[in-house]
Structure 1
Amino acid sequence: MEPHLLRTFVTVVHRRSFSAAAEELGYTQSAVSQQIAVLEADLGVALLRRRPVRPTPAGERLLEHAGPLLLRHRAARADVLRAAAGPAERLTVIASPLACTPAIARGLTANRSVATLRTVGRERVAERFASGAADLGLVDGIAAPSDPLRLPDVGTPARIGVAEEELVVVLPDRHPLARRRGLALADLADALWLRADVAVPVERLREIAGVGGFRVAFGYDGEDVHTVVNLAAAGHGLALLPASVAAGVPLTAPRVVHRVEALYGPSSDRAAALAAQLRQPPSSTPPGTSAAGS
């Protein structure tokens, strides 16, 4: 399966139209049809129904594989080009919004090799890094202490944990639970929560709590953490955030932390040195004893 044929197939499925896919890819409609026909002939199965355009069961399965395969292809290409270009004098860093903690921001400021910092959604950091958009990627997520984050398969970049900190539940000052020294996530399953890209998603809350619930009361589609804090403080729903960006009641169960990892090419000494410089010592503060929860 040639990568350009897979890319055409994915575009047709997403756009639900051969003509729209042709416009996006810069091909003629007949060229798109020919590429899909070649892919179907190679696999020996029909991948698309034409009216309306939608994948067959075989096409659905191919779609599941196509994203990771295309990403690995872009990652391999970017890795080869990085090696051919040699060491970068000035580094571009790409980060999810909450990956740039105060301590990491200070580290980036202190390192004169950093030229640019860009932020994208946490689910896109590994993909953008692997595609060659940055020399160093910083991605955050929730994990058990010292456990690696679950990231897309983007080849073999070097990755290290650079920071871990406790999580806090952000809620209004007058909330009945606001004076607690700690909270168990499962006990908050019946509460109303904010849906926000920069907070822990409600789907992840259900997963780590091991129970259902966690209904969404209000949705916020931006990436400004201060807006999330203000919405939670105003009573629009609870939010789970790192302790460094918000005051709240510490999460004491289950034992999970906000973790930040750095991704860099194994041949990039400057990026490796920056990742090592950003690495923070593990916190010795037990959950439930931070100033945020006092």
Structure 2
Amino acid sequence: MDPHLLRTFITVVHRRSFSAAAEDLGYTQSAVSQQIAVLEADLGLALLHRRPVTLTPAGERLLEHAGPLLLRHRAVRADVLRAAAGPIERLTVAASPLACTPTIARSLTQERLAVTLHTVGRENVAEQVASGTVDLGFVDGIAAPSDPLRLPDVGPLTAIGVAEEELVVVLPSDHPLSRRRGLALTDLADALWLQAPAAVSVERLREVAGTDGFRVGFRYGGEDVHTLLNLAAAGHGLTLLPSSVAVGVPLTAPRIVHRVEVLHGLRTPGPAQAVTGRLR
């Protein structure tokens, strides 16, 4: 049976009107009537009562089969087109929790490319790229503007900076400092901070500020940023996040940014080269 005739039949049944079905399908009413007549002639059975439009017993049975038949027809067509277009290339990517920015996510969109993305700890991204476990890695961290991230020495890797953005201090809305236009990190050394994989670690804060303090108020072992924001809003501790992720008070001193780098090894597959080229 012609799938176009089946589609017309289903539309008439659902709209209960030849004229409404014609409007949906972009045909004239007479064309719809003719298609139903051809389908009935092919089966040698009446499928529809005309006034009002209702199903005959044969029409009810055809309706049961028509949907799956059309679905199968579309699946076969899509499969043939995919085969004709050539094989799908595959790309495996590892990214630290805050490394997959909107721009980077868009760079992974490519026709005929199937991407698998794993979220791993910052310290594990370089290791997985160097070992060949993944084709490409994205790692984030804090650094002075244009300065490279400090990566573990796990072998020959190429690291390219692809994004930098402002950092904000996330604190409860009723916090005394929440209405400031900017905050210096040294002014927050006595505050309690959240310790979490997705956030800047307390140890890194001490290093950047060049001072002690920055006590841990709450330890969160997960990587969900929404949970991290809820913990900060509830007063469990402050956190430092990129401005694209959270609303907070801009960090004005020291001059550091949230930086993302793409990592690849000596042998880079074609899809990884294409993604890196777009990000450059």
In structure 2, the partner of 1:276 is: 277
Deviations 1:97-125 (A, max 9, x none): 10011222222235653421111011111
Moved over 4 A (4+): none
In structure 1, the partner of 2:47 is: none
In structure 2, the partner of 1:28 is: none
1:137 aligns with 2:114: no
Specify the code of the residue in structure 1 equivalent to 2:103. Answer: A
1:155 aligns with 2:170: no
Identity of aligned residues (%): 73
| Mapping for residues 253-264 of structure 1, pairs under 5 Å | 253-264=253-264
| Equivalent pair of 1:111/1:274 in contact (CA under 8 Å) | no
Give the Å deviation of 1:163.
0.5
Q: Which SS does the other structure have where 2:227 is aligned?
A: helix
In structure 2, the partner of 1:191 is: 191
Pair 189,112 (structure 1): closer, same or farther in 2 beyond 3 Å:
farther
Q: Which SS does the other structure have where 1:99 is aligned?
A: coil
Pair 253,114 (structure 1): closer, same or farther in 2 beyond 3 Å:
farther
Q: Which SS does the other structure have where 2:103 is aligned?
A: helix
Q: Which runs of 5+ in 2 are unaligned?
A: 1-87
In structure 2, the partner of 1:122 is: 122
| Equivalent pair of 1:206/1:214 in contact (CA under 8 Å) | yes
| Partner Cα distance (1:185, 1:112) in 2 | 46
| Mapping for residues 1-294 of structure 1, pairs under 5 Å | 89-110=89-110, 112-268=112-268, 269-279=270-280
| Partner Cα distance (1:203, 1:194) in 2 | 12
Give the Å deviation of 1:272.
2.4
Deviations 1:112-165 (A, max 9, x none): 534211110111110111111111000011111111100011222222001111
| Equivalent pair of 1:266/1:272 in contact (CA under 8 Å) | no
| Equivalent pair of 1:108/1:278 in contact (CA under 8 Å) | no
| Partner Cα distance (2:189, 2:277) in 1 | 38
Deviations 1:151-190 (A, max 9, x none): 0112222220011111100000111111111110011000
Q: Which SS does the other structure have where 1:125 is aligned?
A: helix
**TM norm structure 1:** 0.63
| Partner Cα distance (1:114, 1:180) in 2 | 45
Specify the code of the residue in structure 2 equivalent to 1:161. Answer: G
| Partner Cα distance (2:124, 2:133) in 1 | 11
| Partner Cα distance (1:228, 1:128) in 2 | 26
| Equivalent pair of 1:95/1:137 in contact (CA under 8 Å) | yes
Q: Which SS does the other structure have where 2:155 is aligned?
A: coil
| Partner Cα distance (2:223, 2:111) in 1 | 25
Q: Which SS does the other structure have where 1:252 is aligned?
A: strand
| Partner Cα distance (2:141, 2:167) in 1 | 11
Q: Which SS does the other structure have where 1:127 is aligned?
A: helix
Pair 206,263 (structure 1): closer, same or farther in 2 beyond 3 Å:
same
Whose radius of gyration is greater, 1 or 2?
A: 2
| Equivalent pair of 1:162/1:276 in contact (CA under 8 Å) | no
Q: Which SS does the other structure have where 1:98 is aligned?
A: coil
| Equivalent pair of 1:158/1:265 in contact (CA under 8 Å) | yes
| Equivalent pair of 2:95/2:119 in contact (CA under 8 Å) | yes
| Partner Cα distance (1:238, 1:169) in 2 | 7
| Partner Cα distance (1:273, 1:158) in 2 | 15
Q: Over aligned residues, Cα RMSD in angstroms?
A: 1.5
Specify the code of the residue in structure 1 equivalent to 2:157. Answer: P
| Partner Cα distance (2:136, 2:114) in 1 | 10
Deviations 1:7-47 (A, max 9, x none): xxxxxxxxxxxxxxxxxxxxxxxxxxxxxxxxxxxxxxxxx
| Partner Cα distance (1:97, 1:263) in 2 | 15
Give the Å deviation of 1:90.
1.4
Pair 177,89 (structure 1): closer, same or farther in 2 beyond 3 Å:
same
| Partner Cα distance (1:111, 1:124) in 2 | 29
**TM norm structure 2:** 0.66
